Chain A
Amino acid sequence: MNGATASATRLRAPPSHDPAWLGRVFWAGAALVLLWPLLVATEFKPWLLFEAANLKVTGQFLASFLPPAHSAEFLVMVARETWRTVAIATAGMTLALLLALPLTLLSTRVLSISALSGRMARGPFWLRQAVRGLLIVLRSVPELVWALVFVRVVGLGPTAGVLAIALTYGGMLGKVYGEILESGETHATETLLRNGSSRLQAFFWGLLPQNAGELTSYTVYRWECAIRSSVVLGFVGAGGLGQQMDNSMKMFHGGEVFTMLAVFVALVALADHVSAQLRRALA
């Protein structure tokens, strides 16, 4: 008994406060100092939100949210524009697919015949690098910028939105398709190529069946993203729900904005749900 208490007193008493508090306080202070230039650059003045004039405008806008606009005429218009949003996304994805498929076939290393015997020949190698470069350029220009440019060329309306989605998503699909095709098991494809099948045959009977599920699942996921971005494209005049939302916001019609926001959120949730179901069925 006596020995036990003696050994207990030998143990160090637990610290009564955080032993690392000095360091934590120092780093928190340093982060605040580093934050200062950011606050200046972004004109971060939260008190402006609470100035009387600003509060009045915001309050009026928010108050006009209720009741949401629900006249039959308006709802028909919203339904039409919602369909257009989906249609822009679908048409854009179709064109993106048409763009991405040939580029994928051109850029996949697995389908190279010269690579079967060690190193790829110089010509095919540089062709593949060039196609990859093109995909990177297509992908790295944001779709909103493409839309801005195309609105200048073809005028306001859905054509600009479809083209913008087609180009950006074509780049994304091409890159990811290539990665999917190259990451899987390539033994069957290689065997086909070694036994004298053509590259297209090797693709359709070796590579495609093996990766079809993953490719479709990624395409469905991108379609979901395209719906989201086709709403955003409407804000620069590419048609659909976004354009109507922009108009209503500029005219401070809060009720209409509220209805369209609700429809948009429901649309995205629906697309999310459909895409999740499809991808589960494909897995």
Chain B
Amino acid sequence: MTTPRPAAANAPYRLPPPLFSARCKACWFVAAVLALVAASFWTLQLQWGQFLSLDALLSMARFAGEFFPPDTSPAFLRKVLVGTWETLAMSALGTALAAAAGLLLALPASRLHDGDAARARAPTRLLLNALRAIPELVWAALLLIAAGLGPFAGTLALAAHTTGVLGRLFAESLENAPPGPAAALRAQGVGNVRLFLYATLPQVLPQLMSYTLYRWENNIRAAAVLGVVGAGGLGQLLSFHMGLFHMGKTATILGAMLLLVALVDALSYGARRWLTR
């Protein structure tokens, strides 16, 4: 019979774990990321030489210098102001249309109570996902064919993408609404339309409003650049004047764009602070 070995006074000294082991998921993840990054840089053949050469740097400096002085003639400023208003109008109308269409599509896309068969739920959600998967700019390029150049196409593009986003969010909030009031009215034999209008909608309306305002904020930013494919607003002015190498005018438009985005950011930040105070 052997006596048991006394326990070591200190925990045994361990070597650090090996750098790579086949059982370590994080190692595989890191290796995969590194491989993806290496493959990306290798296959893209980026023109760093051309971009970082003295020649290119000089031409870039010249290009940046051409932005100054920005064009601040009253006539042009008025044009930029009209473009800004057009951008705002596109975003507001696009969001409003999307909120209406999103609510209409959210109803078939949600299971409102336990007895609801909700046969249209899957196909409507598929439609919403398809609307959402295509970015605003691609919608705008597609809709130019049907609606022609101008802000109308941009408005429809914003509405199409936002309908997908809002419809899905609205459907989630409709399904998550507390079922009590609706069940009480249903037990009294109230019809589906009145039930929705007087029980479900009032409960979720604040949430729907906050989703809509949040998307409006996003859409203002999107509307500012949507025009580069010809769909109205500041973006259309930008691509027009940049195409003609009117650098002073381009600088003014870029300034207006940044100002608009900064203003929206500041307002939404302020509003959030004020609401959550």
Contact = CB atoms under 8 A, between A and B. Distances in A.
Interface of A: 18, 35, 37-39, 41-45, 48-49, 54, 57-58, 61, 83-84, 86-88, 90-91, 94, 140-142, 144-145, 148-149, 152-155, 157-159, 162-163, 228-229, 231-232, 235-236, 242, 245-246, 249, 252, 257, 261, 264-265, 268-269, 278, 281
A134 to B, nearest CB: 14
Contact of B93 (A44, A48, A148, A232): A44
Interface in B113-153: 130, 133-135, 137-138, 141-142, 145-148, 150-152
A145 B238 contact: yes
B90 interface: yes
B258 interface: yes
B46 A153 contact: no
Given A41-B85, A42-B86, A90-B36, A235 B47 contact: no
B146 A42 contact: no
Interface stretch (B55-63, B68-76, B101-109): B55-63
Contacts of B92: 38
B152 A159 contact: no
Interface in B140-174: 141-142, 145-148, 150-152, 154-155
Nearest to B233: A42
Interface in B40-89: 40-41, 43-44, 46-48, 50-51, 56, 59-60, 63, 85-86, 89
B177 interface: no
A49 B143 CA distance: 10
Contacts of A145: 225, 238, 254, 257
B261 interface: yes
B17 to A, nearest CB: 15
B224 interface: yes
Nearest to A249: B141
B218 to A, nearest CB: 12
B145 A58 contact: yes
Nearest to B151: A42
